[in-house]
Structure 1
Amino acid sequence: MQRLATELTIYPDCYLQIRRAKMTIFTDIAETATVSELKQTLGYILHLDPNIIRLISKGQILDADTKRLNECGITTKEARPQNPFQLEFTLKLDDGTYENVEIIPYAIQNSSSNDE
C-alpha cells in the first residue's frame, strides 16, 4: 500500500496579482523564481523590456534581481489561487526615474445617498 504524503503540494506555484493604475495582471510563478524571472514574465505579457519594470511588495522595492521570491516573503502559503499575493509595478521614465505607484480602486463608491 502506498503511503500518502503528510504535506501535499497542492499549490506548487505562487499566484500573484500585479497592479499598476487601472491594470491588473494575474499570473503564477514558482516561489523559487528570481525577481528577474518575474520581471521577464511580466515583460513578456506586456510586451515591454523587463529592465524598465520595478516591482514593489508591501511598500518595499524588489531591487535585487537575483533574489528568489521566497526570500522576499512571497511563498505558496501566502500566494494562493483564492487569495493571490498583491504586487505593484511601475515603469522607468525616459529620464531614468520611475513613475509613482498609483493603484486605482476597482470601483468607486458613491458617497451620496439616494434615500431622499
Structure 2
Amino acid sequence: MWVVKIGGSLSHDPALRGWLTELAEMGGGRVVIVPGGGDFADKVRQYQAEWRFNDLAAHNMCLLAMTQYALMMQGLSPELVLASSEAKVRRALRDGRVAIWVPTALMRDEPD
C-alpha cells in the first residue's frame, strides 16, 4: 500500500485534478490518499485565534477540514472512494480502487 498525502497547498493548483486522475488510473488497489486541511484548516486556526476556543474543538474542526478537502477531491474524481475506517480502506483496495481517507473517526468528545 502506498500512502499519498495531498496537501492543502494544491487546493488551488490546476495540477490537483491531474494528480487525482493519475492516482485513480494508476493506483487502483495500492493507493490511499490522505488529504491535508488547506484553506479549511486555516479558517479553523483563524477562528481559534479570534474566539479563543479550546484545542479539542479545534482538533475536531481540523478533522472536518480534512474531510471537506477529501469530499472536494472525490467530487473532482468520483472514481475515488471515501473511506472513514481501516476496513473501508482495505475494501476499496481489495476492489482495485483508490481510497481517500476521511479522518472523522479520530474526532473526540474529550482530550486524550
When normalised by structure 1's length, the TM-score is: 0.25
* Greater percentage in strand: 1
* Greater percentage in helix: 2
When normalised by structure 2's length, the TM-score is: 0.25
